């Protein structure tokens, strides 16, 4: 479509950093509300508020080993000392117990320390003779004891808002006595794929047709980010059908993600259509792959229209869709992991767009990290993303990089 067409949104190509900043700003204007879920359903969710311990964990000092609880003041400096065995305490035993001078109590792992005791000598280090327990010199005062509040003290922040609840973190919540937790509501998305040449897997291919891989790769990326994918719809190359699909999706989802129809071809209707029924924040980014990315909104619902080439869609999702989802999750979307590695093969870059090349990384025996670019970097070579584990980040200016040069990489795993 010619640039003079009044229906065409203005093209002011942004840098990746500028585009990311606009995405994050829009996401921050409409954060998702929290919801409360049971711990059984909390795994993988994003914590909505700080969790502060209301109790000490553990609640009482307890034994870290099976052995004998006693007073450290009675430990011998040389030779051996006999301690009088005054009883046994098992984990879960709530009865009152105490030790006096040169007394000891047989104790199991996790059992509360008896009053007066501050040390546990493991059973392998003693000799039992009837009611006498012989302890040799060399034991350490305070050994094998878990102090009250050693894990978390009452009033301490146990988990910060914005963290993803891993199995260990859910375990922390349970250790604090919680049965439910406040998490960020999972974003709801509708995925639209476009193109008359696209057919579903399982249907015999006609001349010029390709299978719809974007439905599964982009759908998988959404689910991997904790998004609830409400549905997928494939839309034919028809303006009215696409308008209806976009408006319906925006009315039911927090996010609309589409694939294809955003370049400058005869059937690329999305740029002017989004400008007509919504707003366009930007169209086209100085990046390779993925330049013809479109971002805006219909009402309050953000809309990403990603390029149809499979690699371009995956790259733009990683670099620009993920920051929106991270912002909704309460995390710093600008704090992406940034690694550096040495090039194992030369790269010559002649254009003035930032480029993100698929690559493999390896740690060598001398501790250095090396990265090898995939030999075929075409935006239709989906295999390159399937086999890569990182992206080499090449700044906008042209450059020639030699073997051994240091480059920035973004891990994909």
Confidence of residue 265 (pLDDT cuts 50, 70, 90): low
Give pLDDT, residue 198.
93
Take residue 37 and report the two structure tokens written for it: 């879920």
Whether residue 289 is preceded by a cis peptide bond, meaning omega within 30 degrees of 0, is yes
Residue 378 reports pLDDT greater than 60: yes
Residue 12 reports pLDDT greater than 70: no
The Cα 152–Cα 56 span in angstroms is 6
DSSP H or E stretch at residue 340: strand 339-343
Take residue 261 and report the two structure tokens written for it: 């129809």
Q: What are phi and psi of 399, to 5 degrees?
A: -165, 155
* Chain position carrying tokens 């990315």: 293
DSSP H or E stretch at residue 218: helix 214-224
Kindly state the average pLDDT of the residues 92-104. Answer: 94
Which domains are delineated in the chain? 16-33+186-328 (3.40.980.10), 35-57+150-184 (3.90.105.10), 62-146 (2.170.190.11), 339-411 (2.40.340.10)
pTM of the predicted model, to two decimals? 0.82
Residue 58 reports pLDDT greater than 90: yes
Measured between alpha carbons, how far is residue 117 from residues 65, 77, 133, 256, 282 in Å?
A: 14, 18, 15, 63, 69
The Cα 352–Cα 401 span in angstroms is 15
Kindly state the average pLDDT of the residues 90-118. Answer: 95
Give pLDDT, residue 267.
57
**Residue 69 contacts residue 104 (beta carbons within 8 Å):** yes
Per-residue burial over 138-162, b if 16 or more Cβ lie within 10 Å, else e, is ebeeebbbbebbebbeeeeebbebb
Q: What is the pLDDT of the chain when averaged over all its residues?
A: 93
Residue 381 reports pLDDT greater than 90: no
Closest residue by Cα to residue 196 from 267, 271, 292: 267
The Cα 392–Cα 341 span in angstroms is 9
Q: Are strands 157-159 and 51-52 parallel, antiparallel or unpaired?
A: antiparallel
Read off the pLDDT of residues 339-357 as tens digits, 9 standing for 90 and up.
999 999 999 999 999 999 9
| DSSP 8-state assignment for residue 2 | -
Residue 11 reports pLDDT greater than 70: no
The Cα 59–Cα 411 span in angstroms is 41
How long a stretch of residues is the chain?
413
Read off the pLDDT of residues 175-214 as tens digits, 9 standing for 90 and up.
999 999 999 999 999 999 999 999 999 999 999 999 999 9
Kindly state the average pLDDT of the residues 354-370. Answer: 96
The Cα 146–Cα 275 span in angstroms is 63
Closest residue by Cα to residue 70 from 98, 110, 112: 98
**Residue 342 contacts residue 405 (beta carbons within 8 Å):** yes
Sign of the C-alpha dihedral, residues 148, 150, 155, 160? negative
Q: Which regions of 139-221 does DSSP assign to beta strands (E)? A: 145-146, 157-159, 180-184, 188-194, 198-199, 210-211
Kindly state the average pLDDT of the residues 302-315. Answer: 94
């Amino acid at each position: 479509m010619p640039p003079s067409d009044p229906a065409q949104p203005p093209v002011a190509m942004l840098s990746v950093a500028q585009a990311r900043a606009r995405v994050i700003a829009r996401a921050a204007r409409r954060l998702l509300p929290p919801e409360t879920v049971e711990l059984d359903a909390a795994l993988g969710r994003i914590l909505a508020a700080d969790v502060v311990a209301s109790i000490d964990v553990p609640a009482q000092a307890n034994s870290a080993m099976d052995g004998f609880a006693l007073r450290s003041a009675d430990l011998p400096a040389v030779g051996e000392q006999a301690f009088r065995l005054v009883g046994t305490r098992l984990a879960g035993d709530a009865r009152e117990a105490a030790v006096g001078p040169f007394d000891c109590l047989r104790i199991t792992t996790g059992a509360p320390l008896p009053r007066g005791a501050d040390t546990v000598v493991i059973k392998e280090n003693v000799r039992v003779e009837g009611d006498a327990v012989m302890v040799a010199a060399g034991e350490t005062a305070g050994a094998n004891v878990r102090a009250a509040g050693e894990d978390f003290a009452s009033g301490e922040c146990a988990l910060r808002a914005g963290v993803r609840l891993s199995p260990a973190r859910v375990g922390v919540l349970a250790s604090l006595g919680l049965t439910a937790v406040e998490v960020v509501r999972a974003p709801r998305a509708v995925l639209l794929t476009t193109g008359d040449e696209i057919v579903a897997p399982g249907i015999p291919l006609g001349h010029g047709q390709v299978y719809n891989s974007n439905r599964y790769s982009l759908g998988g990326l959404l689910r991997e980010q904790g998004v609830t994918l409400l549905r997928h719809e494939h839309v034919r190359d028809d303006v009215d059908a696409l308008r209806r699909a976009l408006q319906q999706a925006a009315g039911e989802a927090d996010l609309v993600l589409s694939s294809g129809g955003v370049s400058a071809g005869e059937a690329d209707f999305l740029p002017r259509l989004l400008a007509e029924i919504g707003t366009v924040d930007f169209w086209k980014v100085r990046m390779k792959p993925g330049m013809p990315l479109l971002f805006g909104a219909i009402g309050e619902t953000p809309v990403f229209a990603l390029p149809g080439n499979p690699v371009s869609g995956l790259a733009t999702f990683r670099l620009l869709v993920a920051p929106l989802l991270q912002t909704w999750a309460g995390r710093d979307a600008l704090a992406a992991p940034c690694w550096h590695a040495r090039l194992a093969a030369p790269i010559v870059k002649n254009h003035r767009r930032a480029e993100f090349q698929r690559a493999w990384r390896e740690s060598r025996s001398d501790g250095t990290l090396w990265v090898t670019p995939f030999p075929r970097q075409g935006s239709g070579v989906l295999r390159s993303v399937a086999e890569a584990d990182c992206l080499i980040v090449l700044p906008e200016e042209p450059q020639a990089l030699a073997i051994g040069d240091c480059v920035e990489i973004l891990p994909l795993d």
